[in-house]
């Protein structure tokens, strides 16, 4: 199904990426000067725009990073008549990478012309929806530390990670799946709808957004010297071989309890009271299908 220009809205987060939004606008105008464009310079403005224009458009093309994509997706949950597309201009771009989106707008145009889409799964933690990866533990600690730094990008994220290595302590976690329970000391509990955090750092190598399941990754405490190996295994796709990791593939909701109060949703740092309800929504979000 080919979409008309007036059925498509390009939403740009000007705080994502290093380039100014005018650069992205020029690239969009080259595709079609009639495309509608909205620059969302705050969450409030974005929410107001979506509330007032959700029914007006059929395709929402979000130009931004993981946080902006996640926010846009949360408004489209359960709307099979609305399609999400992505121009990945953030630091990690995890969900975009996993689903074939690039900064090649001519490739995006071909996908828009074809008009195919697929239904992706979505997740929710304590009412907060997400489509890529959420986590409690070390990755959340890094996300909070990174948010406090002035610089963005992969280099600054690496610096934040190094700052956290000697400060973070493993946490006691209890996970309940109905009558079944898992309890122990963990450094990370990651809930993955796709394989990666971003930047091709794979934490759940078998996860994908159409599996109708969530991959739960339980990372046990490991010695400091092992950290470079752990990171290397993520980028080389060997992380599943680690003796410090257990994987569970879940198709039902579950609860998590811990004294630790930091978590993240697609890299956005958040707090909770130590108790989390995680819900799995199967085939809840319509995504533009990119050609390979």
Produce one character per residue of 226-251: b if its CB has 16 or more CB atoms within 10 Å, e if not. eeeeeeebbeeeebeebebbebeeee
Percent pLDDT > 70 in the chain is 95
Dump pLDDT digits (tens) for 263-287. 999 878 999 998 999 999 999 999 9
Dump pLDDT digits (tens) for 9-30. 999 998 887 778 889 999 999 9
Task: Name the pLDDT band for 155 (thresholds 50, 70, 90).
Answer: low
Domains of the chain: 5-122 (3.40.50.10330), 128-280 (2.60.200.40)
288 backbone φψ class: left, alpha, beta (φ>0; ψ -120 to 50)? beta
Q: What gap in Å lies between CA 53 and CA 178, rounded to an integer?
A: 40
Average pLDDT over residues 228-254: 91
**Measured CA distances, 99 to 43, 132, 153, 194 (Å):** 25, 11, 21, 9
254 backbone φψ class: left, alpha, beta (φ>0; ψ -120 to 50)? beta
Instruction: Strands of the chain (E only): list them.
Output: 8-12, 36-39, 59-64, 83-88, 117-125, 128-130, 133-137, 171-177, 180-186, 188-192, 214-219, 245-250, 254-258, 262-265, 268-271, 275-288
Dump pLDDT digits (tens) for 166-197. 888 999 999 998 888 999 999 999 999 999 98
Dump pLDDT digits (tens) for 60-108. 999 998 889 999 999 999 999 999 999 999 878 999 999 999 999 999 9
Q: Which of 109, 284, 79, 72 is nearest to 101 (CA)?
A: 109
Task: Name the pLDDT band for 47 (thresholds 50, 70, 90).
Answer: very high
Q: What is the pTM of this model?
A: 0.91
Q: Is a pLDDT exceeding 70 seen at residue 226?
A: yes
**Measured CA distances, 158 to 161, 162, 285 (Å):** 5, 6, 32
């Amino acid at each position: 199904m080919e979409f008309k220009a007036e059925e498509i809205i390009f939403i740009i987060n000007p705080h994502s990426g290093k380039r100014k939004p005018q650069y992205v606008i020029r690239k969009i105008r080259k595709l079609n000067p009639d495309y509608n464009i909205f620059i969302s310079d705050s969450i409030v403005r974005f929410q107001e725009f979506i509330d007032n224009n959700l029914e007006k458009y059929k395709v929402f093309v979000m130009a931004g990073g993981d946080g902006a994509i996640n926010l846009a997706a949360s408004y489209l949950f359960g709307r099979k008549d609305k399609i999400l597309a992505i121009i990945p201009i953030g630091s990690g771009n995890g969900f975009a990478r996993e689903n074939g989106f690039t900064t090649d707008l001519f490739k995006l145009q071909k996908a828009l012309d074809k008009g195919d889409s697929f239904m992706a799964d979505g997740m929710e933690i304590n009412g907060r929806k997400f489509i890529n990866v959420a986590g409690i533990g070390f990755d959340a600690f890094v996300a909070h530390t990174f948010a406090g730094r002035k610089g963005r990008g992969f280099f600054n994220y690496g610096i934040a990670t190094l700052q956290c290595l000697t400060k973070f302590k493993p946490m006691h976690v209890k996970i309940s799946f109905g009558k079944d329970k898992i309890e122990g000391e963990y450094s990370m509990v990651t809930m993955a709808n796709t394989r990666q955090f971003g930047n091709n750092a794979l934490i759940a190598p078998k996860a994908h957004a159409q599996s109708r399941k969530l991959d739960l990754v339980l990372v046990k405490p490991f010695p400091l010297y092992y950290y470079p190996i752990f990171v290397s295994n993520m980028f080389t796709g060997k992380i599943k071989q680690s003796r410090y990791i257990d994987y569970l593939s879940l198709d039902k909701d579950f609860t998590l309890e811990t004294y630790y109060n930091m978590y993240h949703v697609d890299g956005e740092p958040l707090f909770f009271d130590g108790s989390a309800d995680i819900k799995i929504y199967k085939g809840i979000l319509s995504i533009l299908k990119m050609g390979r």
